[in-house]
Amino acid sequence: MAASVSPARNDRHALARIRDLGQHCLPPGITLLAPRSVHDYCRWYLEREHRKGRRFRRTADPARQRAMMESYHAGKFSPVFAEWEWWLARIETPAALAALMIPRSAQSISDGLVDPVRLRTVGVAVDRLQAAQLFEGSDPTGSPKNPFRRYYQRFLRDGLQLRGDDRLVLRSLTRNEQREMGQRNALYLLDGVGRSLPYLTLVRQGRLRFRPIEVYLALAPPRRYTWSATSLSHATGEASPAGDGWRCVPGRHRRGHAVYGPYVSLPATRITVTFHLSTDTGRRRVANVDVYDSRRRHSLASSQVNEGGRVTLRFQNHTTNPLEFRVYWHGRVPLEIHRVDVELHGSTSV
């Protein structure tokens, strides 16, 4: 099941971004619902903690909420989250839940969740808990109730649903985690291990029917993006006969933007954009390429195209406004556009 979208509003920029994320970041079985922000997450988390009886001075100020998260809930927050993209999303399948990565910590090791030779996932942790017959046992008299058993009973007795206050929180893997686990597009379960393991156990036992799980999802921007010319929007030209490019032919097509879009929001950092083109060598004013801020309606970087090959633009991005990578063809010389590569420079990881 591919990553998909059910947007809360018909916003072409949000829709374009969702397509990009599906292409570059997301594992199967995740549905993006609507954009959110780090402030939404902090407010939700602190309000939930307050309703659970945790006492602290409440505030509506986003900066103070972030400071509280950093000071008192550091395990659930990183300052770099302000640079990441936040979404309200759903886990659609048991397989997608089972594939989530869990922390390696003293607690997860003592709970028996970590297998020394298998990936550190929710599915593997459930295998280990079931093998240990944790849910068939009971807590010793006078001892605190095991949190996994407590949630197991709440799902059965109270019909607990993983949404609202009980939704999960996911994030991208850091680069170190990607290297350690050999995974790139997997997601890390930041909050909700205690709820996830009993829920997946009950689904596997056939005692509960799986229902989609509501999540907050924090995504680190990819370091590199690639868009084929055919995947972008067009005001002139046609697909090349081989189907792997977009071409403009004098006398057949009018001058105009051969490619534009994809209205992608990128973090505030240094960015390199490379256009891959083919044309007659040495002919002047074949086309112009630019990076265009579609909200402020001005170019951030541009260059004239006089010959084929690669045309590279470098610029400092200062906003997260939707961007377009455009090729304006002048209508006099044949031109074929193959793809657009984008590379981010700077820190975007935990």
H helix or E strand, kind and range, residue 328: strand 322-329
Whole-number pLDDT of residue 214: 97
Residue type, 350: V
User: CA 120, CA 193: separation in Å to the nearest integer?
Assistant: 12
For the chain, the domains span 4-36+84-219, 224-345
| Joined tokens for residue 38 | 């780090």
Q: For residue 46, which of 59, 33, 29, 32 has the smallest C-alpha distance? A: 59
pLDDT digits (tens, 9 = 90+) for 234-264: 999 999 998 889 999 999 999 999 999 999 8
φ, ψ dihedrals at 138, nearest 5°: -135, 160
Decide: 134 and 149 in contact? Cβ < 8 Å: yes
Half-sphere exposure of 182 (CA within 13 A, CB side): 3
Sign of the alpha-carbon dihedral angle for 176, 181, 185, 191: negative
User: CA 290, CA 170: separation in Å to the nearest integer?
Assistant: 35
Give, as one character, the DSSP assignment of residue 264.
E
33, exposed or middle or buried, with CB in 10 Å at 0-12, 13-18, 19+?
middle
pLDDT in tens, the chain (350 residues): 344 444 444 455 555 555 555 445 688 999 999 999 999 999 999 999 988 888 788 889 999 999 999 888 888 998 888 878 899 999 999 999 999 999 888 888 888 898 888 889 999 999 999 998 888 877 777 667 788 999 999 999 999 999 999 999 999 988 778 887 777 678 999 999 999 999 999 999 999 999 999 999 998 877 788 999 999 999 999 999 988 899 999 999 999 999 999 998 887 889 999 999 998 766 678 999 999 999 999 999 999 998 888 999 999 998 888 999 999 999 999 999 999 999 988 655 45
Per-residue DSSP letters for 156-177?
HHH---SSGGG-EEEEEPPHHH
Whole-number pLDDT of residue 11: 52
User: CA 150, CA 139: separation in Å to the nearest integer?
Assistant: 10
Whole-number pLDDT of residue 280: 77
User: CA 193, CA 148: separation in Å to the nearest integer?
Assistant: 9
For the chain, state the CA radius of gyration: 24
pTM for this predicted structure = 0.68
| Joined tokens for residue 204 | 């596997």
Where does the chain have alpha helices with state H?
Answer: 12-24, 38-51, 62-72, 94-98, 106-110, 122-131, 147-158, 175-181, 193-205
For domain 224-345, the question of CATH label 2.40.50.140 is answered with: no
Whether the ω angle into residue 116 lies within 30 degrees of 0, i.e. cis, is no
Q: For residue 100, which of 14, 2, 197 has the smallest C-alpha distance? A: 197
Residues in the chain: 350
Decide: 305 and 289 in contact? Cβ < 8 Å: yes
Residue type, 343: E
pLDDT digits (tens, 9 = 90+) for 84-99: 889 999 999 999 999 9
Whole-number pLDDT of residue 26: 80
**What's the distance, Cα to Cα, between the start and end of the chain in Å?**
28
Cα angle, residue 84 at apex, residues 76 and 78 outer, rounded to 5°: 30
* Residue 157 CA, distance from chain mean position: 34
